[in-house]
A and B are shown apart, each in its own frame.
Chain A
């Protein structure tokens, strides 16, 4: 039910499907089947095996890791319909997209819209090939939800900016090559004093400290900038345009954070399969605990409605052109449902679903616990649920600010 076939596929699509099948047969190493890691962006880069590298390079070569991006910058140049075929065919053989991260999800689409020709030529192709990791320099200790209240200052030094300040919650900062950041270039204007700047993480003066989280993982960092020199050509758009560009990027972020619920996907088994394994079933194979069964069905129905909503948003925004107004709704709903699912999952498993480390727990059980804890961040980062509610109330529903 989650996806519906097109009523009639044009012949070109059949030809494309055949092309994808041949490509996968020739390039996808069978030993990687089902090995896609949805947690990769928060777990950091594992040692890349030869097979993984070859698969990434093959996909990067075609631009199929970023299938709908323009061909001239290294993307696949595919219409959305064919991108879906690619997705379907990869799913069919257990293949995964080896190219991802914030460069793909947030920065790339924003740079394609606002970047100069030279910036696109420089930065987009390495993203399409999965060669460069980007991190996001947005949040600051005193500017979390009040994002525009940022203090990191970029002083105009003629041919370059001199950047001083601190960012926090820099996801994957310790593994990133580059950072897209919003910084203050004018202290006299809260919103128009913000600019969008690209920085090298290995530049002198950049220091990264991972923060230990309740899940035990450290994907988030504090990032300090001390007299960091950033060339002027790394300014995206005009000076002072950073708030506009930054907000656009946040729309992409929201859409991706909610899209299909990567958190839920990485938990693997369906809730009902888990329940059948950990809770008794009756003679007919139904979950014997009827209350639990009812709650799982309640969740699954709403989850399906959410997936349909995500699909509808894509179709509507494609028809209307541009990112849908509904991105705040998707972020809010998707993250809430993901958390609900994780809570239900550990409840189903009982103590077996609360293991921290060591003996007596399967890898999946331990991963589930970490994912449940890490998942608490989803309603806080990328604009908390409360911020999304403000956006929906004010921008979509037209409810006014206090007068």
Chain B
């Protein structure tokens, strides 16, 4: 755990307490059972916004707290532990795009609404089943955007889309020219294919040529924070289970074969945490964020993949049941591994950026 200041410790403790008491995995079960395509609890998101979480990276003059990315990451990690379903990450990323690339007018219009939770935002980037921001065909002509975006997360609840077209990022509001087709994924959250058919689009003119990459760095790092929380939760629940379950008249935790596997996973979790926190710190310092983002997401992919699989195996048969939580983490893990760069994609990018 990174060394935190007092403010950050309070924020983390508050998030942990809220997630544990107000948003345990049972809350996600309820959302799943409701079949609501938005797949989150509006009241719960309202409470999060009330606590200031949707405005953590938004400058104070636009209604945020400007607490920085490490702070945002701490909250997201705590919510990841209990699989809290919310558009917090998506909205934070939409806000980040506007902070980086918006005009004064765009900032003044959107940031206070995103920070207060009144408006929900999300990113609409990829056009196929695999993350590939180098291949975008959505285009804008005369201020109207056309194209199709695949697997847009938090699409159903979103009021504002940050859309990547071939020539840059655009703000598109829900409404005319925007239609959704639900894509139900294994994590039972909101995903949709969105068709933009001459939708009014407002370009983010600032931020330079790297704007999309800069937004994606933040997307990778903040997603990795959710994954870190999930990995920690699976690890903890597995350890608890091994300490309770008796077989052959012995508590499972006393078997060396299982102890060493947990020690291995503990090492993987330690590396994942360092990579993710390193990413957040790089964003706050403003140095090396692109490389740090690759490392953070690649380590998150690798470690969560492993821990989510071992979590099922070490639980044995009960881990296979829907009644038990471990399976939820496995299913959500694969969705997050695919978003903003699979492991092979990230390795290719790392090698390219390192000059080999």
Is B165 close to A, CB under 8 A? no
Q: Do B270 and A326 have beta carbons less than 8 Å apart?
A: yes
Q: Do B243 and A396 have beta carbons less than 8 Å apart?
A: no
Query: Which of A91-99, A105-113, A290-298 touches B?
Result: A290-298
Tell me which residues across on chain A come within 8 A of B356, comparing CB atoms: 272, 275-276, 281, 285-287, 293, 296
Is B291 close to A, CB under 8 A? yes
Map CB proximity to A onto B220-240 as digits: 1 under 8 Å, 0 otherwise.
Answer: 000000000000000000010
Q: Do A393 and B351 have beta carbons less than 8 Å apart?
A: no
- Also in contact, A1 and B278, with CB within 8 A (given A309-B271, A316-B3): yes
Is A12 close to B, CB under 8 A? no
Q: Do B264 and A389 have beta carbons less than 8 Å apart?
A: yes
Q: Do B270 and A329 have beta carbons less than 8 Å apart?
A: yes
Q: Do B272 and A316 have beta carbons less than 8 Å apart?
A: no
- Also in contact, A399 and B295, with CB within 8 A (given A272-B354, A329-B267): no
Q: Do A4 and B285 have beta carbons less than 8 Å apart?
A: yes
Is B78 close to A, CB under 8 A? no
Q: What is the number of residues of chain B that contact chain A, defined by CB distance less than 8 Å?
A: 49
Tell me which residues across on chain B come within 8 A of A316, comparing CB atoms: 1, 3
Q: Which of B242, B267, B346, B356 has the most CB of A within 10 A?
A: B356
Map CB proximity to B onto A326-342 as digits: 1 under 8 Å, 0 otherwise.
Answer: 10010011000000000
Is A308 close to B, CB under 8 A? yes
Q: Which of these, B263, B271, B278, contacts A393 with CB under 8 Å?
A: B263
- Also in contact, A400 and B288, with CB within 8 A (given A309-B270, A393-B262): no
Tell me which residues across on chain B come within 8 A of A272, comparing CB atoms: 351, 354-356
Map CB proximity to B onto A305-318 as digits: 1 under 8 Å, 0 otherwise.
Answer: 11011011001100
Query: Which of B48-56, B171-179, B252-260 touches A?
Result: B252-260
Q: Do A403 and B267 have beta carbons less than 8 Å apart?
A: no
Nearest A-chain residue to B286, judged by Cβ? A7
Within 8 A of A (CB), among B305-346: 344, 346
Tell me which residues across on chain B come within 8 A of A293, comparing CB atoms: 351, 356
Tell me which residues across on chain A come within 8 A of B254, comparing CB atoms: 399-403
Q: Do B251 and A397 have beta carbons less than 8 Å apart?
A: no
Is B266 close to A, CB under 8 A? yes
A211 CA / B60 CA spacing, docked (Å): 67
Is A9 close to B, CB under 8 A? no
Q: Do B295 and A301 have beta carbons less than 8 Å apart?
A: yes
A302 CA / B291 CA spacing, docked (Å): 13
- Expressed in whole angstroms, the minimum distance between the Cβ of A399 and any Cβ of chain B is 4
Tell me which residues across on chain A come within 8 A of B253, comparing CB atoms: 399-400
Q: Do A305 and B295 have beta carbons less than 8 Å apart?
A: yes
Map CB proximity to B onto A264-289 as digits: 1 under 8 Å, 0 otherwise.
Answer: 00000000100110000100011100
A298 CA / B345 CA spacing, docked (Å): 11
Is B33 close to A, CB under 8 A? no
Nearest A-chain residue to B349, judged by Cβ? A297
Q: Do A301 and B294 have beta carbons less than 8 Å apart?
A: yes
Map CB proximity to B onto A380-400 as digits: 1 under 8 Å, 0 otherwise.
Answer: 000000101110111011111
Is B287 close to A, CB under 8 A? yes
- Expressed in whole angstroms, the minimum distance between the Cβ of B319 and any Cβ of chain A is 18
A294 CA / B345 CA spacing, docked (Å): 10
Nearest B-chain residue to A295, judged by Cβ? B347
12 chain-A/chain-B pairs, Cβ below 8 angstroms: A1-B288, A5-B285, A287-B351, A287-B356, A297-B351, A302-B271, A305-B278, A315-B2, A333-B267, A392-B267, A402-B254, A403-B251
Chain A residues packing against B (C-beta within 8 Å): 1, 4-5, 7, 272, 275-276, 281, 285-287, 293-294, 296-298, 300-302, 304-306, 308-309, 311-312, 315-316, 319, 326, 329, 332-333, 386, 388-390, 392-394, 396-403
Chain B residues packing against A (C-beta within 8 Å): 1-3, 239, 242-243, 250-251, 253-254, 256, 258-260, 262-264, 266-267, 270-275, 277-278, 281-282, 285, 287-288, 291-292, 294-295, 298-299, 302, 344, 346-348, 350-352, 354-356
In order of increasing CB-CB distance, the 9 nearest A-B pairs are: A393-B259, A308-B274, A272-B356, A389-B263, A297-B347, A309-B274, A399-B253, A392-B263, A305-B271
